[in-house]
Amino acid sequence: MAIRDKLSGNEAVSIAMKQINPDVVAAYPITPSTEVPQYFSQYAADGLVDTEFVAVESEHSAMSACIGAQAAGGRSMTATSAQGLALMWEMLYIASSYRLPITMATINRALSGPINIHCDHSDSMGARDSGWIQIYSENNQEAYDNFIQAVRIGEHPDVMLPVMDCFDGFITSHKVENILLMEDEEVKKFVGKYNPPYHLMDKANPMSMGPLSLPMYYFESKRQQAEVMKNCIKVIEEVAADFEKVTGRKYGLFEEYKMDDAEVAIVIINSTAGTAKEVVDKLRSQGVKAGLLKIRVYRPFPVEQIVKALSGCKAIAVMDRADSMNGAGGPLFTDVTSAMYGRVEGVKAINYIYGLGGRDVKVDDIEVVYNELLEIVKTGKVKEVFNYLGVREG
């Protein structure tokens, strides 16, 4: 039976961690992710979990401790944001190349400088090619649900990769919402026990990790990682189907909001999807065939599925809360347009960079984007492919 509660996103994720009861949680505080290990450390102090909580001296050390614990056959978790994720950079690649299914709550915050503690996606987008699975959450319920699913996805024998559960700093992490929690035993049963096929403490099958890999073998190991990342889409869908059977809550690779007959659509990630849905509803009431595609799984990038979902549109706007500084579009835009290139014709695509450093994104802002798409459909012309939304120019 579902447990009704009112929780912030951070608290909800910390409860998910408590219910899973991992072997090791190692973390270093950084706004806005601090509350996750803070809440969890209290559970550990109160004896509510069997977890070894390791208070380390940096985020680099936090990921190093998680790597050591997972390599030894334990289940490990952490949480971080922004500069903390950046300080982990070296170890992110180590974790994925060792095929260690660490689970991390990544609470999205702008990377400094200038120093900013508010939300954008520059931190996790910068880590998009580190070999971690990335799942994004619109609200508190999704942050909780995705964290539980992330553990099972990463630990699947056909995957064995680390997973980030990404959600927006302050907007989701600190906002309190109504939420449905699973029973403790339900979570434990759903996640199951961690039984790695190999680990450093297996005396019967001694092994080592961290070997030097020169040109003779390195390329093949990277190719294997890439293939596993591509193939884990099937596992993500299977885990979501099992989760729906237990909770009734349905998840996919992305959410298609009123996309069946949409002529114009926005592609977006995380909390701003909720604002955009309000605009879609308003436009639909006016007879406009507007839709929204909210990305849930960004790594691996579900190319074929996204192309199919967008192929019926006349014009789309891809919205990025991170700037690639390349003058050609943000990371989500370049991925979406790369996926569509040579696979679908006639869909005009534009890009908007929005909400950097926590800049508010309002209904009026989203309406500007849809109005531009409607103008493109009417005239058949694109004025500017690469745009900024809600910024003071000049």
Please report, for the domain that includes residue 208, its CATH number.
3.40.50.970
Look over the chain and give the mean of its residue pLDDT values, rounded to a whole number. Answer: 97
Asked if 107 and 211 sit in the same domain, the reply is: yes
Domain end marker among 198, 226, 247: 247
Do 393 and 356 contact (CB within 8 A), yes or no?
no
Q: How many CA atoms lie within 13 A of 258 on its CB side?
A: 21
Asked if 231 and 288 sit in the same domain, the reply is: no
Angular region, 105: left φ>0, alpha ψ -120 to 50, beta rest? beta
Whole-prediction pTM:
0.98
Domain end marker among 194, 214, 247: 247
Asked if 166 and 77 sit in the same domain, the reply is: yes
Closest alpha carbon to 139 in 305, 29, 7, 17:
7
What domain range includes position 219? 3-247
Our separate counts of H helices and E strands in the chain read 13, 15
Do 100 and 197 contact (CB within 8 A), yes or no?
no
pLDDT above 80: residue 377 = yes
What burial letters (b/e) apply to 145-155, b meaning 16+ CB within 10 Å?
A: bbbbbbbbbbb
pLDDT of residue 336: 98
Do 117 and 169 contact (CB within 8 A), yes or no?
yes
Q: How far is CA 12 from CA 16, 144, 177, 229, 239, in A?
A: 6, 6, 10, 28, 20
Asked if 273 and 217 sit in the same domain, the reply is: no
The pLDDT of 260-284, averaged and rounded, is 98
Q: Percentage of residues in the chain with pLDDT exceeding 70?
A: 100
User: What is the domain count for the chain?
Assistant: 2
pLDDT of residue 66: 98
What's the pLDDT tens digit per position in 161-170?
A: 999 999 999 9
Asked if 101 and 128 sit in the same domain, the reply is: yes
Closest alpha carbon to 315 in 266, 361, 261:
266
Assign residue 351 the CATH number of its domain.
3.40.50.920
Q: Which two tokens stand for residue 2?
A: 């579902």
Residue 263 belongs to a domain:
yes
Closest alpha carbon to 52 in 34, 74, 35:
74
Asked if 265 and 225 sit in the same domain, the reply is: no
